[in-house]
Structure 1
Amino acid sequence: MKNITISVTEGDAQRFRVAAAKAGQSVSRYLAEAGARRIEAEDASARRHSRQREALERILAGPEWDVTSDGRMPTSEERNARN
């Protein structure tokens, strides 16, 4: 493990000590695991958004549909006609 130094308010430091004690961990271990969970959650969110973006790009890159009739868009009556 690599040691780092962070600056926090006295109030936050106290809250970290209490939370770490409740979890039965050192403050260092508690903050390291909390940070790792946060990063993993952000990575999972980015992967989810990436998959959604790729799916949308595949849809938009699909074949174009010719919806014109003689170079003009159909009217609402033509578009909604039941054949």
Structure 2
Amino acid sequence: MKNVTISMDDELAQRARVAAARAGISVSKYMADAAKAKIEADEKLAGQSGGNRQIEALERIFSGPKWDVTDDGRMPTAEDRNARR
């Protein structure tokens, strides 16, 4: 078991003390349970969304609006693409 020191404003500390007292546990146990719940929720969310922000960003880009680059149903040739206009 590791000891961890955290800082929080006075109002939040008081609210944590009251919530822990209502739950009948120490502030330390209350904060550990809250951290565990938050980590598990984040991991579950990451697992549902793939967890890879770069892949998610690319999927958003590729799912964006499409534009037609074909000419009569055919892709432009290299000469057409590189022609100076």
Q: If the TM-score is normalised by the length of the shorter chain, which range does it land in? A: 0.5 to 0.7
1:71 deviates by 4.1
- Displacement of 1:18 in angstroms is 0.1
User: How far apart, in 2, do the equivalents of 1:2 and 1:12 lie?
Assistant: 23
Q: TM-score, normalised by structure 1?
A: 0.60
Residue 13 (str. 1) matches residue 13 (str. 2): yes
Which of structure 1's runs of 4+ aligned residues deviate more than 2 A? 70-73
Long gaps (5+) in structure 1? 58-67, 74-83
Show the counterpart of 2:22: 22
Task: Indicate the residue corresponding to 2:81 in structure 1.
Answer: none
3-state SS of 1:35 partner: helix
Give 5+ residue unaligned stretches, structure 2.
Answer: 60-69, 76-85
Q: CA RMSD in A?
A: 2.4
Deviations 1:10-57 (A, max 9, x none): 111110000001111100000000000000000000000018x7xxx8
Query: Structure 1 residue 72: deviation in Å?
Result: 3.9
Q: What is the total number of aligned residue pairs between the two structures?
A: 58
- Give 3-state SS (helix, strand or coil) of 2:19's partner: helix
Kindly report which structure 2 residues correspond to 1:57-68, keeping only aligned pairs within 5 A, or say none. Answer: none
Question: Is 2:41 the counterpart of 1:41?
Answer: yes
What fraction of aligned residue pairs are identical, expressed as a percent? 55
